[in-house]
């Protein structure tokens, strides 16, 4: 949390590059649309999360080169 003399992130965001501001706006709109309700995972979603956590704890991760290729394909 910013100190009383530090501008909030919303104030600082006014000076971000246009593309970054658009991304932030989309994220905030998605959050607004989702509402304040707590999301409850389905049984299948919970199973997938637990599976992913187990893989991560075992160190069974996707190699960096594969992740970089994925992000290039998806323009992120």
Report if pTM > 0.75.
Answer: no
pLDDT of residue 46: 95
pLDDT of residue 2: 56
> Residue 62, Cβ neighbours under 10 Å: how many?
10
Query: What would the pLDDT profile of 27-75 be if each residue is shown by its tens digit?
Result: 999 888 888 888 889 999 999 999 999 999 999 988 899 999 998 998 7
- Res 3 pLDDT > 70: no
| Element housing 73 (H / E) | helix 64-73
Question: Structure tokens of 14?
Answer: 């006014």
pLDDT of residue 16: 94
């Amino acid at each position: 949390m910013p100190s009383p003399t530090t501008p909030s992130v919303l104030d600082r965001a006014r000076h971000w590059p246009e593309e970054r501001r658009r991304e932030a706006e989309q994220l905030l709109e998605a959050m607004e649309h989702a509402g304040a309700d707590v999301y409850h995972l389905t049984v299948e979603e919970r199973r997938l999360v637990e599976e992913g956590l187990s893989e991560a704890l075992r160190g069974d991760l996707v190699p960096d080169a594969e992740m970089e290729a994925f992000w290039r394909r998806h323009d992120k």
